[in-house]
Amino acid sequence: MTRFKSPPFVILAFSLLAYAPLLAFTGFYWDDWGFAWTARFLGPMEFIESFRPFRPFLGPIFVLTTSLLPSNPLVWQVFGFFIRFASGLAAWWMVKTIWPGLKRQALTLSLLFLLFPAYTQQWSAFTHTNQELIPLIFYLLSFGLTARALQSKAFWPNTLAALLSGALGLVTTEYFIGFEIFRLGIIWYLQQGLPPQKRIGQTLRHFIPYLLLWLGNAAWLAYYYTYGPYNSYGVSVLDGLRAEPAAFIAATAADMGRTLLIAGLQAWSQTLRIFAQSPLQPLSWLIWGLSIAALMLTVFCRAEMSGGENRRWALWAVIFGILGIFAGRLPSWAAGLPLKLTFSWDRFFLSMMLGSSLLLAGLLELLPLGRRRWLVLSLVLALAVGQQNLHANAYRRDWVRQRDLYWQMVWRMPALEPGTALLTHEFPNFDYDTDLTFTFPVNWIYAPDYDGGNLPYVLLYSAVRLGGPNLPALEADLPLKIGLRTVTFHGSTSDLVVLYFPERGCLRVLDPAYDGPETLPRVHPDLLTALPLSDLSRIHNGNRPAVPERAVFGPEPEHDWCYYYARAEFARQTGNWSEVASLGQAAIDLGLEARDVYEWLPFIEAFARTGDWETARQISSQTLSASAQTRKGICAIWQRVPDGRAHVPPELNCP
C-alpha cells in the first residue's frame, strides 16, 4: 500500500483524474491540423523546412515524434497525457533535488504544477506537446542537474548534462528565455553558509557556463529576428523604450503588477467556476465527481501531504515563485503580447506555471493553518482537477462540432475540383479553430492522395481575410495566393464555393440560383456580396466521392436531419427534384425536424415541382407558422415553380 502512496504514483493518479476521463473524446485543434497533415502527407522531414522561418531548432523534435507516432488524434492525446505526467515528475524531481529532505513540499509543488489551471491547451496535444511541454521538461531537468552538480563531487558531469538539457529547452523555443534568472536564484540559494562576498563570487562562477549558453542563444536570436526569411514575433517593447522611456517604465511596472495578480491569484481562483455548472447536465456530475475523487485521493495520501511547516523553505518558495512568474512573462512581454486567461493567449502561462505553483506552495506553507493545511491543499487540487475537466469538455464539444461539419461537407459536396477556395464569413461555435485550421482537414478529405505541389483547397474567413493580401476583395477574377508554411494554394475568386454554417442549422452551400436576402436573413453581408461568385459547378460526384479517414475523423455518424438536407441540396444542384422529394419524405417519415426552418425550402420546391401540391402546401404553412420571416423565401419558390401560383397557400399572401 505504501508503494501506491509514493510521489510518482500520486502524480500519476492526479494526472489520470485531470487529463484522462475525456481524452478519448478529443481530437485535433488549431495548429494540430497543419502539423498532422504535414506529417501524414509530406513526411516528418518536412518539419525541418517548415520551422526554418519560425523556430529552426524545434523542427527535430517534430521529426522525432512524428516518425514514431501516426497522425491519429487519439494517439496524440495519449502521448500528450504521458508528457504532461512526465512534466509533473520532472517538477517533483527538480524540487526534491534542490531541497533534499522536503518530500512533502516537493510533492505539493509537483501537483500544483501538474494541475495548473490557467493553461487550458493540454488537448491541443500535437502542437503544444512538441512545441512547449517537451522543451519545458528538459529545462526542469536542467535545473535539477544544476542543483545536483553543486551538491555532489561530480560537478562537471552534472554541469555538462545540465547545459545540454538546458540547451534543448532554451534554443528550441523562445518561451523559456527568461528561465536563466530562475537558475541564477537556485545557484545563489545553494551557496548558503558562505560569506556574502565569497557567495557572490561562487554564484557568478558557477553561473558563467549557463550565462555563456544564454548569451549565445541571445546573439543567435538577435541575428535571426533580423534574418530575411524570419516570420514570427519580434521584440516590440524596445520601440516604446526608445520613444518614451518614462512611459515605458510606468507601463512595464503596471504590466508586472497585472502579471503577478493574474498568474499568482486569478489563475487559481478561476477554479471556482465549476460551481457555476448546471446540475442538469450529465457532464457537470462527471466533473464534480472527479473533483470529489481528487479530494478523496488527498485524504488517502494525507500522510504524504501533512506535516509541520518549514517557514524558511516557504519564504524561498515565495521569492522563487515571484521570480519565476516574472521570468516566465519576459518573452511574451518582450513581444508585446497580452496576458489573458482565455484561449489562445493562455499558452503564455506555460512559462509561468513553475513560478505560480511555487508561489502558491510557499503561501500555503506560510499561512498559520496547522493541521488544516493539507485540507486547504486538497480543496485547491480538487478544484484544479475539476477545472481541467471543464477545459477538456470544451474541447470535446469542439471536436463533436468539427466532425459534424466535416461529414456535412462530404454529404453536401461529394467531390470538389482542385483549386477551389471555400469561403465563409466565420464558422460559429468553434473556440479552438480558425479558417486556415480547417484548410488542412478539407485537403485531407478531398485530396487523400496528395503528394506535393500546390495545395488543392483552402478555406477562408472573410471576417479576418477580406481586404488583406489573402482576399483583397469580393470581386471576380482576382488571383488568390495563400502560403501555409511549406505549401501554397493558388486559385481565383472566380473559383469560390460560398458556405454558410448557422449557429443552429446545417451547413449550406450558397447557390446564386436559389439563394438571396429572402432565404438568408441572418447571414453576414459579406456572404451576400460573395453570393454571385459561388460556383457550384466545382462540386460534383467525382470518380471517387470523398470519405473522411476513419482513424482521423471517426466513423460516419447516424444519418440525422442534416444528412437528408445535405443530400437534398446536392440533388437540387443537379436538378434532380424527384430525389430531393424522396429525401424529404424519408426525413418526414423518420420524424426528423429541421435545425433551421429555412432548411425546409428545397423540400417545398421539390414537392411542388413533382406535383405533390398538398405536401408542399402543408410544409409551407408549417414553416411560415414557425417563422414569419420565411414568407418571402417561400413565396419566391411558389412564384418560380411552373403552375405554382395556382396552388399557393392563401396564408402566404404572396404578391
Question: What mean pLDDT comes out for the span 419-424?
Answer: 96
Question: What mean pLDDT comes out for the span 402-420?
Answer: 96
The DSSP bridge partners found for residue 499 are 509
303 and 289, same structural domain? yes
Q: How confident is the model at residue 180 (pLDDT cuts 50, 70, 90)?
A: very high
95 and 151, same structural domain? yes
Q: How confident is the model at residue 330 (pLDDT cuts 50, 70, 90)?
A: confident
The label of the residue with cell 509543488 reads 109
Q: What mean pLDDT is reported for the chain?
A: 89
481 and 347, same structural domain? no
Give the separation between CA 145 and CA 160, rounded to whole angstroms.
9
Label residues 63-84 b or e (16+ Cβ within 10 Å = b): bebbeebebbbbebbbbbbebb
- For the chain, how far is it from start to end, CA to CA, in angstroms? 82
Do residues 654 and 639 touch, judged by C-beta distance below 8 A?
Answer: yes
Judge whether residue 233 has pLDDT over 70.
no
Q: C-alpha grid cell for residue 535? A: 460556383
Give the separation between CA 393 and CA 17, rounded to whole angstroms.
13
Asked which of 282-296, 343-357, 560-574 is least confident by mean pLDDT, the reply is 282-296
537 and 647, same structural domain? no
Do residues 125 and 84 touch, judged by C-beta distance below 8 A?
Answer: no
Q: Is the peptide bond before 344 cis (omega within 30 degrees of 0)?
A: yes
575 and 501, same structural domain? no
32 and 76, same structural domain? yes
- Domain-embedded: residue 616: yes
Going 443 to 447 to 451 to 453, the CA torsion angle's sign is: negative
Do residues 410 and 512 touch, judged by C-beta distance below 8 A?
Answer: no
- Domain-embedded: residue 408: no
The strand pair at 420-424 and 415-416 is best described as unpaired
Give the separation between CA 41 and CA 48, rounded to whole angstroms.
15
- Domain-embedded: residue 10: yes
Give pLDDT, residue 306: 58
Q: How confident is the model at residue 242 (pLDDT cuts 50, 70, 90)?
A: low
- Domain-embedded: residue 208: yes
- Domain-embedded: residue 638: yes
- Domain-embedded: residue 406: no
Question: What mean pLDDT comes out for the span 390-415?
Answer: 95
495 and 606, same structural domain? no
Judge whether residue 285 has pLDDT over 80.
no
Asked which of 123-132, 373-382, 386-395, 614-623 is least confident by mean pLDDT, the reply is 373-382
Cα–Cα–Cα angle for 249, 254, 260, rounded to 5 degrees: 125
Given 526, 557, 588, the domain boundary residue is 557
- Domain-embedded: residue 88: yes
Asked which of 396-405, 529-538, 540-549 is least confident by mean pLDDT, the reply is 540-549
Judge whether residue 274 has pLDDT over 60.
yes
574 and 462, same structural domain? no
Judge whether residue 237 has pLDDT over 70.
no
Judge whether residue 308 has pLDDT over 70.
no
Give the separation between CA 526 and CA 425, rounded to whole angstroms.
7
280 and 164, same structural domain? yes
Higher-pLDDT residue of 305, 163: 163
348 and 451, same structural domain? no
Question: By CB neighbour count within 10 A (0-12 exposed, 13-18 middle, 19+ buried), where does 278 fall?
Answer: exposed
Judge whether residue 582 has pLDDT over 60.
yes
Q: C-alpha grid cell for residue 473? A: 476583395
**Tens of pLDDT along 113-147?**
999 999 999 999 999 999 999 999 999 999 999 99
- Domain-embedded: residue 220: yes
Share of the chain above pLDDT 70, in %: 94
Give pLDDT, residue 2: 55
Higher-pLDDT residue of 545, 199: 199
Structural domains of the chain, count: 3
Give pLDDT, residue 236: 58
Judge whether residue 228 has pLDDT over 60.
no
Query: For every residue of 22-46, which 3-state class applies, written as one string?
Result: CHHHCCCCCHHHHHHHHHHHCCCCH
Given 511, 531, 557, the domain boundary residue is 557
Residue 618's domain spans which residues?
558-655
Give pLDDT, residue 52: 87
Give the separation between CA 457 and CA 482, rounded to whole angstroms.
10
| SS3 category, 117 | coil
**Tens of pLDDT along 47-104?**
999 998 878 899 999 999 999 999 999 999 999 999 999 999 999 999 999 999 888 8
Given 557, 584, 619, the domain boundary residue is 557
Give pLDDT, residue 251: 80
Give pLDDT, residue 338: 86
429 and 365, same structural domain? no
Give pLDDT, residue 535: 95
Give pLDDT, residue 131: 93
Higher-pLDDT residue of 294, 430: 430
Judge whether residue 1 has pLDDT over 60.
no
430 and 297, same structural domain? no
